[in-house]
Amino acid sequence: MLDAQERSAHCPVCENECLIPEGGTGRCGRYENSRGAVVERFPDRYLLSCPIKIETMPLLHFHPGARFLQLSTVGCNFDCPGCISTVIVREMNPDSRALHRLTPEQVVEKAIQHGCDGVTFLMNDPLAAFDTFIAVAKQAKAKGLKVGCASNGYFSRQAMERVIPLLDCINIGVKGLSDSGYQDCAGFKGVSPVLRNIKLFHEAGVHVEVACIHKRDNAGELLELAAILRTISPGIPLQVMRFIPLEGADPDQEPLIRDTEELCVTLRQFLDHVYVFNSPGTDMLDTVCTECGERLARRDFYGPMGARLLKVDVGGAPPVHCPVCGHEAGMTGLPTMSGFKEKHFQGGYPFTRALEIVESILIAMGAEDASETVSVWEHLLCNHKMQDLHHDIQRTDKYAELVRFFGSLVGRETAAEELATYLEEKTERVRRLCAGQKHSPRVYYAMGKPLFCIKGERFENHLVELCNGISVNRELELGGRPGMSIGRETLIRLNPEVIFISSFLSNSPDVFHQECEDKGIDVEAVRQRRIHTSPIPSSDFGSPKWVLGLMHAANAMHPEAARFDIDKEAREFHDRFYGGDFDPLGVNRSFAKPNSAWRWDVPVR
């Protein structure tokens, strides 16, 4: 009879190579040892399968504008602090009824029905469902579709041998260059496997783009990473993700958009193509010819970690080139421009933000463990209610109805009524205070930089109108999500008297003001320095904390009538609905969690 050690088996999927006892699971919980064979525990189950543009993945230099079927499961082989996908990698039950089962053949058929050029796994790592990924990839290749994924790149050598022949493109998220940083993410062999795999993918002809987070204290690591990538190929695009502090992440590590842009100017001395993400209004998502400076592709911010292709101008059959000087554009494949639009809360990370909004409501009504949130997620997903959710969170009255409805789903009607009534009473007080003012100021709502305009139908503009303001955003027809960049002349024509900057992807009002002056944006709000962002992050959309943003907006728009003590209101709100003290230094950009120290008492694993 074999002893316990002999019945154990190493997991062959990721570089951690967990030693799994018979009947046990590895660290990630997605693989088990069944009679000496390591097998996937939850195969062929998807939380999300929907068509997206390749820039949502994001990939910028691979068949620009192509349509792919996004596939997302749950779980991850890593456990990164401040993960933007926490709700699906840590909190969604992997055996949830919200996950739908599709065979590889059904996945590929769905991609074909939606007119997709390929399939791609993203939002959580394909290493969490590797056998499923491989099976889908084989079926996709057999039908002439392309195969891609976004991954932390921690493939074992054995996994690399399986995936390289099937993979056309990959976005590899590098967690930094220190072994200790990787170990904090559960990458126990440090960074070297990732750098090895980037090189192996590139040498095998797989299209590789690399993403890395920029924090206040890691500019040196990004410069070192750029130097390393240059030794592999200076043509590898580097996506610099400006840090959004979510979950348990330190809010003090968030850099200004200006700081990330300045770093990327330096990084372009090493690499041909460096891009700035998570920075609405930046022009550093555009592709520029490295020879003559011609702008070859124009893109806009498209939600966290995403980009939207606006225009591409390259010539010839692959490899495509600059139409002005003929220099190669550094893109794989021909571009495609179409009118296809992704649905609300589908495609990329806006989906996870939607789940966070639901979670924020449950936490504010006193939910004690993650399973209560999961049950509401399941209701919405199983009944195809995500589009309704997007509609219902755009008005305060509908929001209060949602609170009561979610409370009824989890048996917390009394707590839900208390929260909904509080929101309604505060909203009515603001409305009455502001309604008596004779002047209704013209208000512009931006996100990040001055020229990124939030869409008129969004919740933030509803708050402006509750404060007896005129939302100039509603005067524009805008696409994109959560809005789009507008021209300088358009903003001057709107001539707002007050400007608000989103409290999610925000900016310093002083830096914002300087950028307006630098761009010659001569409007009343700039002349009078009436530029504001809420002192409470993520308090003007999504979370019930929007009521604090509403009171702040009233103060800014009608200081003669509204004099809310926002710090006092925040302390009372946190004490009443979160059962804890309010520490402004501990609040980050998370919609869901009250502060960076908050944890579920009973997590779902």
* Helix/strand/coil for 522: coil
For the chain, percent of residues with pLDDT exceeding 90: 91
Side by side, which strands form the sheet with 238-242? 48-53, 67-72, 118-121, 146-151, 169-174, 207-214, 238-242, 274-277
Residue 274 gets which letter from DSSP? E
- Cβ-in-10-Å burial (0-12, 13-18, 19+) of 323 comes to middle
Range 78-88 average pLDDT = 92
Q: Do 435-586 and 45-312 have the same topology in CATH?
A: no
* Helix/strand/coil for 170: strand
Domains of the chain, residue spans: 4-40, 45-312, 350-426, 435-586
In terms of pTM, does the model score above 0.85?
Answer: yes
Q: What is the 3-state secondary structure (H, E, C) of 361-386?
A: HHHHCCCCEHHHHHHHHHHHHHCCCH
Q: What pLDDT, on the 0 to 100 scale, is given for residue 25? A: 96
Range 6-16 average pLDDT = 92
Q: What pLDDT, on the 0 to 100 scale, is given for residue 259? A: 97
Digit-coded pLDDT (tens) for 201-222: 999 999 999 999 999 999 999 9
- 144: number of Cβ within 10 Å: 10
CATH number for 45-312 (one of 1.10.287.130, 3.40.710.10, 3.20.20.70, 2.60.120.10): it is 3.20.20.70
Count CA atoms closer than 13 A to 299's CA, side-chain side.
30
pLDDT at residue 1 above 90?
no
Q: What pLDDT, on the 0 to 100 scale, is given for residue 603? A: 53
Q: What pLDDT, on the 0 to 100 scale, is given for residue 316? A: 84
CB 127 within 8 A of CB 77: yes
Range 332-344 average pLDDT = 90
For residue 244, give both structure tokens: 């959004």
Q: What pLDDT, on the 0 to 100 scale, is given for residue 108? A: 98
pLDDT at residue 496 above 80?
yes
- Cβ-in-10-Å burial (0-12, 13-18, 19+) of 307 comes to buried
Range 487-513 average pLDDT = 97
Count CA atoms closer than 13 A to 9's CA, side-chain side.
17
For the chain, percent of residues with pLDDT exceeding 70: 98
* Calpha distance 293→280 (Å, rounded): 22
Report the Cα 404 to chain-centroid distance in Å. 28
What CATH number has the domain spanning 435-586?
3.40.50.1980
CB 287 within 8 A of CB 273: yes
Q: What pLDDT, on the 0 to 100 scale, is given for residue 481? A: 86
Digit-coded pLDDT (tens) for 376-418: 999 999 999 999 999 999 999 999 999 999 999 999 999 999 9
pLDDT at residue 2 above 50?
no
Q: What pLDDT, on the 0 to 100 scale, is given for residue 605? A: 46
Evaluate the omega torsion of the peptide bond into residue 319 and state whether it is cis, within 30 degrees of 0. yes
* Calpha distance 305→287 (Å, rounded): 17
CB 170 within 8 A of CB 118: no
Report the Cα 107 to chain-centroid distance in Å. 24
Range 34-42 average pLDDT = 95
Range 270-285 average pLDDT = 97
Mean pLDDT, the chain, rounded, equals: 95
